[in-house]
Copies of this chain bind each other. A is one copy, B any other.
């Protein structure tokens, strides 16, 4: 979090690339990062010294090209492990990775989390994480990263507000830390998603990327040059609670006409139920099956349902329009489970977008839809935990 020394910044860039791209030879690293071979050599020497990087042992030749064979560097996978967690409304997603970032195990648990008391919630989470660590025999667990919905203060480890929680200002990181005895990093889930997606698409790591995640809610992760934009306190914003229609449907935040109230799964599901004249839905968060059924009906031509998606598309278009006019991003990514109905949303989405932005402005941003599973959330938060650890390791050694 503190400003990085030039050395630390270079170190981070190097390790970031290596994590993303896998084993690389020193020359390749130099080319990719625009550093001289001398600098790479110097930097990697200390990283190998510290045991963070390992040199490829295989004497295997490069094959067709002549010349001295490349010696590739890769992450040591024996320095410990990290657990990544995502918490939904009634689901906990877990992932164990080793220090090289490789997936070692994953699990998900169905467990209602909504409106638990603060202490109870943390007990449940801590127990789930501890059990996962026990069962997977997590070798030398170094840290836990947790992605969740809501306004998350990453620096202080506090969740100021979340649709999952009754409580406000929950000191989640310290609470879990006390229970688990490990450092805990928390992050807004849309931010974690944005980060993970940008790791996989190089073009998203340059310029400004706004990543709109549509699913249980609507979140926004914003990246500048591949780094998460941090506002005054929180990271990703609960962009879904921007109010777009003054007298729109009810939102779970208590307001009316929020973006979420049109686009989120719970909203679509609720409205679909109402259309069918069924009683008000008891399931607050519909399952994937229920959503698929609604989408299928709409695709088949059910007029009222199709209209629901038309309206949702329009709101999505307005939302993206606001993003374009405010942040002027180079890239806009629409991701999350909500993209399953993108074909239904698209016509009204595009019309709404076009009607409120001038072409010159719209042309600046590439808009892409990225299918992204909830896996990416744990991946994103685990990546961030790992790179914090990279830094800590160096700082510990320096002290």
Contact = CB atoms under 8 A, between A and B. Distances in A.
A189 interface: no
A169 B255 CA distance: 41
A239 interface: yes
B207 A329 contact: no
A363 B291 CA distance: 37
Contact of A361 (B234, B245, B360, B361): B234
Interface in A226-285: 231-234, 237-239, 241-246, 253, 255, 258
A240 B395 CA distance: 47
Interface string A319-332: 00111011111100
A168 B360 contact: yes
Contact of A161 (B244, B358, B364): B358
A222 to B, nearest CB: 8
A151 B358 contact: yes
A87 B312 CA distance: 40
Contact of A243 (B151, B238, B327, B356): B356
Contact of A232 (B161, B234, B322, B364): B364
Contacts of A356: 241-243, 255, 258
A239 B325 contact: yes
Contacts of A255: 355-356
Contacts of A328: 231-234, 237
A19 interface: no
Contacts of A168: 360
Interface string A14-36: 00000000000000000000000
A216 interface: no
Interface string A328-359: 11100000000000000000000000011110
Contacts of A355: 243, 255
Interface of A: 151, 160-161, 168-169, 207-208, 220, 231-234, 237-239, 241-246, 253, 255, 258, 318, 321-323, 325-330, 355-358, 360-361, 364-365
14 contacts: A151-B358, A151-B360, A151-B361, A161-B361, A208-B231, A220-B326, A231-B329, A232-B364, A233-B328, A238-B325, A239-B325, A253-B358, A255-B356, A327-B327
